[in-house]
Amino acid sequence: MMIKPRFGSRTILILFIVMSVWLAKWTNQARRQRQAIVEIERVGGSVYFGESIFASIPYVDDVFLPVEEVKFPGDASALADEGPVIASLKRLPHLQRILLFPPQDQMMPKLQSAFPDVECKVITSAFIFWNDSYSSRNDG
């Protein structure tokens, strides 16, 4: 004899509320990340995503995938005003690396103090030509 599970309306309502709160937090984080990506790209930065179970699905980068690396090229002129850049970077909770190209290296101390747990590096132009799609672990 098989016993059928019974759920009361109170249990279903509690589960619905818990799922709604989780979905609202996740949606808010995705919206904040999308806004941060737009602001970073507006100042000339490039955003690189980490691995996720959703990595094989096209067009989900800014929603499902965590941002792990941000590169600011030498021609990113808006980095002189670091306030909005740092505010945008703070909206990326999974950020692991920030890479700057030489004209931007004056911003390095500000980034290191704002993000003590994030790897901040200056990448030389010689390294760019050697391997443009790199992440900073191999940079000396």
pLDDT band at 18 (very low <50, low <70, confident <90, very high): very high
Q: What is the pTM of this model?
A: 0.67
The answer to the question of residue 99 being in a domain is yes
Task: Please indicate, yes or no, if residue 3 is contained in any of the structural domains.
Answer: no
Measure Cα distances from 113 to 86, 118, 119 in Å: 11, 10, 11
Per DSSP, 57 falls in state S
What integer is the mean pLDDT of 97-103?
A: 79
Burial annotation 50-60 (CB, 10 A radius, 16+ → b, else e) = eeeeeeeeeee
Instruction: Give the span between the Cα atoms of 66 and 30, in whole angstroms.
Output: 9
74-78, 89-93, 121-125: segment of lowest average pLDDT: 74-78
Give 33-82 pLDDT, tens digit per residue.
Answer: 888 888 888 888 888 887 766 556 666 555 667 788 888 876 655 566 66
Helix pair 82-90, 9-42: axis angle to 10 deg: 150
- Domain assignment present for 5: no
CA distances from 39 to 62, 89, 130 (A): 13, 9, 29
How many structural domains does the chain have?
A: 1
Nearest-5° Cα angle at 64, 92 to 95:
25
Domain contains 2: no
Provide mean pLDDT across the span 111-118.
86
- Domain extent, residue 72, equals 10-135
Question: Is the predicted pLDDT of residue 24 greater than 60, yes or no?
Answer: yes
More confident position, 130 or 104: 104
C-beta of residue 98 within 8 angstroms of C-beta of residue 116 = no
Do the domain assignments include residue 91? yes
CA atoms lying within 13 Å on the CB side of residue 70 = 32
In a domain, 98, yes or no: yes
Residue 103's pLDDT is 64
Assess if residue 128 is contained within a domain: yes
Q: How far is CA 107 from CA 28, 63, 72, 85, 112, in A?
A: 29, 29, 11, 11, 9
Would you say residue 4 lies in a domain? no
